[in-house]
Amino acid sequence: MKHILLLSFASFVSIAGAQGPSWVTPAVRAPRVAHHTFESSAIRSKVSFHAYTPEVYEVEKGRRFPVLYWLHGTGGGLAGIAPVSSWFDAAIRSGKMPPVVVVFPNGLATSMWCDSKDGAVPMETIVVKELVPHVDATFRTIAKREGRIVEGFSMGGYGAARLGMKFPMVFGALSCLAGGPLDLDFQGPRTKANPAEREHILRTTFGGDLDYFRAQSPLTLAENHAAAVRGKVIVRVAVGSRDFTAALNRDFTSHLKKLQIVHTYVEVPGVGHETLPLLRGLGDEQWQFYRSALAPVSPMMK
């Protein structure tokens, strides 16, 4: 069944690619979540995103808030917005984590959260150089690196790792959840099982160039930017023990150790490639990560 689902996805993205990127998505209906658009200079078009604001955002009108950028996995992230925003809302209401604005960028189906080699999908540029400034200009944010976390699951974990490593001057913390593909040959378990999907991503995002793929990898970016990341970016890597990405996530954390990049690694027993079960399985470590990451801008949190 897993092979059938993934091959169906590969067929879907091929069709989506033929129709062109869906830069403006439908609006998701969820409590305290709103659909927004902004004008992108990089593609000369509107781009959409969703944003969750905590209840206190409306109550304390003079207060500024940190921002958590949540990056979705392959296939698009609309289905995850409601459950993930509800997860954060419950944690904020219970006092487990500081109040944050949660931004859900539109990362398309297979952007890998990087600029495509042909320039047609400049996703990294749109997120870092356009969306982040737009959010700071539109919302009452703490507009500095200490007030920003980048986090994501699967392709989003890969994106959070690569953007957090490459732009330590923008993000003060990164959380890579079940990130992938975390190998330099793009031959991990999922791609071996689904060569059509691998070919589609390699061709459309990386121009069929394995060297370009390697240059965009979190492993390469961690190595290139280790000096700037060490002691400045709070890093977390987490994965379920039954996740097909687990072995490569272990290799990634070993790579970070060799580079002397201090980080937290958590492997949650019995969890597969599932977002909310992984978040729930992290337990108290989940909240400690957010509190530590936002301590410079949320001094009252214990």
pLDDT in tens, 1-10: 333 333 333 3
- pTM (2 d.p.): 0.93
**All structural domains of the chain with their residue ranges:** 2-293
pLDDT at 299: 57
pLDDT at 97: 95
Q: Could you tell me the two tokens for 18? A: 């033929």
pLDDT at 258: 98
DSSP 183: S
Q: Roughly what angle, to the nearest 10 degrees, separates helices 2-19 and 195-204?
A: 30
Mean pLDDT (the chain) is 92
Measured distance CA(253)–CA(249) in Å, rounded: 6
* 3-state secondary structure at position 101: strand
Bond from prior residue into 66 cis (ω within 30 degrees of 0): no
pLDDT at 192: 84
pLDDT at 11: 36
Helix residue spans in 28-139 (DSSP H): 55-59, 78-93, 123-125, 132-138
**Which stretches of the chain drop beneath a pLDDT of 70?**
1-19, 299-302
Yes or no: is domain 2-293 CATH 3.40.50.1820? yes
* Amino acid letter for position 20: G
Closest CA to 145 of 296, 301, 299: 296
Measured distance CA(187)–CA(268) in Å, rounded: 24
pLDDT at 147: 97
